[in-house]
Amino acid sequence: MRLSFVVAAVLLCGTLLCGTLRAVASEALPSPSGRVLLTVSGAIQQTNAGEEAHFDMAMLQALPQHTVTTHNPWAKGLHTYRGFSAVDLLARLESQGTRLQVTALNQYMTEIPLEDFTEQGAIFATHQDGKPMSLRNLGPIMVIYPFDQHEELKSEVFYGRSIWQIYRIKSVILKE
């Protein structure tokens, strides 16, 4: 009798937890209240502006935050960067994207595989040394890799993916 009560309680908790997680994942994406810094399109399910998702700084900061402390070729000295992972962004947008086409304000575009965020530890940085990144300082959003942690990241491939002044991301699903 006691064992069946425990099993029933575990099943009930599991059912409630799954329902709660599903509700959070499918919660509607709010509209930005501040200046739009990032537009995401492509293979996404959650939108707030037609077929796109627009984000202001508050919305980007509401995503789980990650830090990377590293040197990089564009800034003197050691810096700590804070921002969000593509993994969390795509999860919020209910995307199955495997690659990101990332575009800067000057129309430079690069394609970044999702593995750069899951395996290499890259982030979309919005802050450098605790301060929001300005346009003059390669912001408001920049892809940063932990260059000091993995020697293989110090290459033209990853330097080319370290795009700054990002304003647009397109989520793409590659079929193999």
Which residue, among 7, 171, 156, has the nearest Cα to 103 in the 3D structure? 171
pLDDT band at 174 (very low <50, low <70, confident <90, very high): confident
Tens-place pLDDT, residues 130-165: 999 999 999 999 999 999 999 999 999 999 999 999
Residues forming a β-bridge with 104: 166
Tell me how far apart the alpha carbons of residues 105 and 173 are, in angstroms, rounded to a whole number: 24
What does DSSP assign to residue 52?
Answer: B
Q: Which domains does the chain have, with CATH numbers?
A: 32-172 (3.90.420.10)
pTM of the model: 0.83
